[in-house]
Chains A and B, each alone.
Chain A
Amino acid sequence: MPVPDMGGEQRAMPVPDMSGEQRAMPSTAGDGARTTGAERSPAARLRGVHIGFGGRGDELPVVRGVDLDLVPGRVTALVGESGSGKSLTALALMGLLPAGARVGAGSVEIDGRDTAGFTDAQWRRLRGTKVAMVFQDPMAALNPSFTVGWQIAETLRRRRGTGRRAAREQTVELMRTVGIPDAEHKYREYPHEFSGGMRQRAVIAMALTLDPAVLLADEPTTALDVTVQAQILRLLAARQADTGMAMLLVSHDLGVVARVAQDVAVMYAGRIVETGALDDVYTSPAHPYTRGLLDAVPDPARPGRLVPIDGQPPAPGHRPAGCAFAPRCPYATETCRTDDPPLVPLAASRPGPATGQHSVACHHSDRVLARATGTEVPS
């Protein structure tokens, strides 16, 4: 099925039927925590997004008010424990939330269009071209009954109407680009004949087929051997740099994030608790949860110093009234148990190029920051 607006210039092309649905852009000034320093407008933008299960997505809220800008040329990392809502956030950007889950409040904007009320057909046109996704487990993500080449070429054939032979040639070329050796031969092989790393390369090739404006990578290295993780990360970073697309890297692994991302957003219990340029957040974490995550990463320079975060994150529906992290937090006070702190820019921070200022949702960020620089130890 040929789709008319799939040319190579799709990112620059005006979208004819958006005027009616286009919302007034939220002004950056009125947007509280964020100021956008980038010239280019985000390729995807989340504002106050709530995602939940049941009813109107409000009976079991999992994601509660997430703001996120995905800017061309930047890699943004979304970090958090499993269950923090980071994968749901990514799936919401694809319109692929699992059955029963839905965006309850807030807006998911892709390419300047609010996707609220999008039909299946409207979503299908965005997928692959505006947003594409690399999934966690490449074995499960590939169809066991079709050759890898067929699965990559299918996107070209169905979405661009590319002929069989041309699609095959382009696919082989694409497979080479993502570092699959002997691509001619591998084209005809089935997923079970691929190694784990090669499978993930194939999944990446599939996501890149239509030259997407935004690439969502959901734990792209988690299911892989440690030895190939670095290769896959290098590949993703290289493709992102070459194409200038925006990338959202969803990960629980701060080491992975540090290699690839420029901006980072830390999620806890469905909220972004800290965000900013990677360097700022890593060198001076202002949220005790971020601090804890960084302390829990083994540091070869300081062996033996590995501090776990006690306790478990609260399950959706069992979140405390105040700050969700309060029960596990060494800094928590009475205020924390009653008032959920908003995400606010740190006074001393400098505006970042894309995500804007280093912002944190903590009543005691001053104390956390002070500890980070070693001037104060929490009581």
Chain B
Amino acid sequence: MGAFLAKRLAQAVVVAFGALTLVFVIVRAVPGDPAKLIVGPDASAGQLESVRSDFGLDDPLWRQYVDHLGGIVRGDLGDSWRLGGSALTNTLERFPATLTLALAALVLTVAIGIPLGMLCARRPGKVLDLVVSTGSLAGQAIPSFWLGIVLILLFARHLDWLPATVDGSPAAVLLPALTLSLPFIGWLARLVRSSALEEGAKDYARTARAKGVPEGTIQYVHVGRNIAIPVVTVLGLLMGNFIANAVIIEVVFSWPGIGSLMVDAITNRDYAVVEAAILTITLSYIVLNLFVDVVYFVIDPRLTPEDA
């Protein structure tokens, strides 16, 4: 298990390095001069020059890149020129809000998606099954910012059931979480459905029927544990997805998370914050994947760490 984890960690470092390089290049390839944004449109050439040298913007790119990597190793991602203070601290302060939102979305997806998929598997080809498979396509085709606005209009304005923005109540998380999860509920339901159908056709399910075990127990217990691996895999991916997708949703709902922070930072060429935010999201992806790998061993008795 130790060797397996070490191997996965080494892979994670490579992935993180790649992500950082990509972000470094893309952020600087985007048109726009950060120095102008910092000092404002009326700044003199001299002021611009001094800001550029303060932030290292006039160094050659390779130099900036090496400094940047060196900083990351020391845990220093530079300062945010807009917010003041360390970019990383600013980012990490906002991270719990994003995590809360993503977790709420995950809980909604699981609580609705899994039973829905099991119901579809019970009667494949019947009405519910068709509704879910069509609905999941529609759900994935709808852009999430539009869905968010529709949900606000419906639940916050017309029905006045739920708060549209952060108002301090725990219910405030419901609308953004629903917006995040809705496209994936049908998707998860379809995955659960097809896995459950495949596993339910296996001999061991027939053995359970031969013992007189009720169909629901066969689905949730006998088949359930065998489809746990594919389901846990996608749940790990989904959680990562939710953290990343939160970028748009947080703006729509003024959710004070890492996503809205990042969008602000991008518009203002606050490179350090953009990079800190993307690094945080990347690392959470990696940690989630690592977590999923470990969960496999808990779920599947046939796996030994050598299988990794």
Chain A residues near B (Cβ < 8 Å) = 1, 94, 96, 99, 120, 124-129, 132-133, 135, 137, 140-147, 151, 154-155, 158-159, 190, 192, 203, 206-207, 209
Q: Is B212 an interface residue (CB 8 A)?
A: yes
Alpha-carbon distance A141/B211, docked complex (angstroms)? 12
Q: Is B137 an interface residue (CB 8 A)?
A: no
A128, A147, A190, A192: the one within 8 Å of B210 (CB): A128
- A143–B214 contact, CB under 8 A? no
The smallest C-beta distance from A292 to any residue of chain B, in angstroms, reads 31
Per-residue contact bits, chain B 211-229, to A (CB 8 Å; 1 contact, 0 not): 1111101000010011010
Alpha-carbon distance A147/B302, docked complex (angstroms)? 11
Residues from chain A with Cβ under 8 Å of B291 in the complex: none
A120, A137, A159, A190: the one within 8 Å of B203 (CB): A137
Alpha-carbon distance A135/B212, docked complex (angstroms)? 15
Residues from chain B with Cβ under 8 Å of A135 in the complex: 203, 206-207, 210
- A120–B215 contact, CB under 8 A? yes
B209, B212, B217, B302: the one within 8 Å of A144 (CB): B302
Chain A residue with the shortest CB-CB distance to B201: A99
B212, B215, B222: the one within 8 Å of A128 (CB): B212
Chain A residue with the shortest CB-CB distance to B204: A143
Alpha-carbon distance A127/B209, docked complex (angstroms)? 8
Alpha-carbon distance A126/B209, docked complex (angstroms)? 11
- B301–A145 contact, CB under 8 A? yes
Residues from chain B with Cβ under 8 Å of A147 in the complex: 301
The smallest C-beta distance from A101 to any residue of chain B, in angstroms, reads 13
- Determine the interface band of chain B, counting residues with CB < 8 A from chain A: 20 to 34
- A96–B225 contact, CB under 8 A? no
Alpha-carbon distance A25/B215, docked complex (angstroms)? 33
Can you give 16 contacting A-B residue pairs, CB < 8 Å?
Answer: A124-B212, A124-B213, A126-B212, A127-B210, A127-B211, A127-B212, A141-B203, A141-B204, A141-B206, A143-B204, A143-B207, A144-B301, A145-B299, A146-B225, A154-B213, A207-B210
Closest 6 CB pairs of A and B: A140-B203, A127-B212, A143-B204, A145-B225, A124-B212, A190-B301
Chain B residue with the shortest CB-CB distance to A142: B204
- A144–B204 contact, CB under 8 A? yes
Q: Is B300 an interface residue (CB 8 A)?
A: yes
Alpha-carbon distance A135/B225, docked complex (angstroms)? 22
Interface residues of B in 249-308 (CB under 8 A from A): 299-302
- A158–B209 contact, CB under 8 A? no
The smallest C-beta distance from A89 to any residue of chain B, in angstroms, reads 15
Chain A residue with the shortest CB-CB distance to B301: A190
- B302–A203 contact, CB under 8 A? no
A99, A140, A143, A207: the one within 8 Å of B226 (CB): A143
Residues from chain A with Cβ under 8 Å of B217 in the complex: 158
Alpha-carbon distance A327/B305, docked complex (angstroms)? 57
- B202–A128 contact, CB under 8 A? no
Chain A residue with the shortest CB-CB distance to B225: A145
Alpha-carbon distance A120/B216, docked complex (angstroms)? 12
Q: Is B154 an interface residue (CB 8 A)?
A: no
The smallest C-beta distance from B193 to any residue of chain A, in angstroms, reads 16
Alpha-carbon distance A222/B270, docked complex (angstroms)? 70
Residues from chain A with Cβ under 8 Å of B206 in the complex: 96, 135, 141
Per-residue contact bits, chain B 185-201, to A (CB 8 Å; 1 contact, 0 not): 00000000000000001
Residues from chain B with Cβ under 8 Å of A145 in the complex: 225-226, 228, 299-301
- A159–B301 contact, CB under 8 A? no
Contacts A124-B214, A146-B225: A96 and B203 contacting too (C-beta < 8 A)? Answer: no
Residues from chain B with Cβ under 8 Å of A159 in the complex: 211-212
Alpha-carbon distance A158/B208, docked complex (angstroms)? 11
- A96–B209 contact, CB under 8 A? yes
The smallest C-beta distance from B178 to any residue of chain A, in angstroms, reads 33
- B211–A144 contact, CB under 8 A? no
- A154–B211 contact, CB under 8 A? yes
Residues from chain A with Cβ under 8 Å of B299 in the complex: 145
Chain B residue with the shortest CB-CB distance to A152: B211
Residues from chain B with Cβ under 8 Å of A133 in the complex: 210
- B204–A140 contact, CB under 8 A? yes
Alpha-carbon distance A151/B214, docked complex (angstroms)? 14
**Best-surrounded residue of B226, B300, B301 (most CB of chain A within 10 A):** B301
- A140–B210 contact, CB under 8 A? no
Alpha-carbon distance A64/B205, docked complex (angstroms)? 28
Alpha-carbon distance A94/B201, docked complex (angstroms)? 16
Residues from chain A with Cβ under 8 Å of B228 in the complex: 145
Alpha-carbon distance A143/B114, docked complex (angstroms)? 21
B210, B215, B226, B300: the one within 8 Å of A94 (CB): B210
Chain A residue with the shortest CB-CB distance to B217: A158
The smallest C-beta distance from B32 to any residue of chain A, in angstroms, reads 55
Residues from chain A with Cβ under 8 Å of B226 in the complex: 143-145
The smallest C-beta distance from B238 to any residue of chain A, in angstroms, reads 23
Residues from chain A with Cβ under 8 Å of B222 in the complex: 143, 146
The smallest C-beta distance from A20 to any residue of chain B, in angstroms, reads 23
Chain B residue with the shortest CB-CB distance to A94: B210
The smallest C-beta distance from A195 to any residue of chain B, in angstroms, reads 16
Alpha-carbon distance A203/B211, docked complex (angstroms)? 11
Known: A146-B222, A158-B213. 19 other contacts (CB 8 A): A1-B214, A99-B201, A124-B213, A126-B212, A135-B203, A137-B203, A140-B202, A140-B204, A141-B206, A142-B204, A143-B208, A144-B301, A145-B225, A145-B228, A145-B299, A158-B217, A192-B301, A203-B207, A206-B211
Alpha-carbon distance A96/B213, docked complex (angstroms)? 13
**Best-surrounded residue of B202, B206, B207, B225 (most CB of chain A within 10 A):** B207
Residues from chain A with Cβ under 8 Å of B302 in the complex: 144, 190, 192
- B212–A158 contact, CB under 8 A? yes
Residues from chain A with Cβ under 8 Å of B301 in the complex: 144-145, 147, 190, 192
Residues from chain A with Cβ under 8 Å of B202 in the complex: 140
Residues from chain A with Cβ under 8 Å of B201 in the complex: 99
The smallest C-beta distance from A134 to any residue of chain B, in angstroms, reads 9
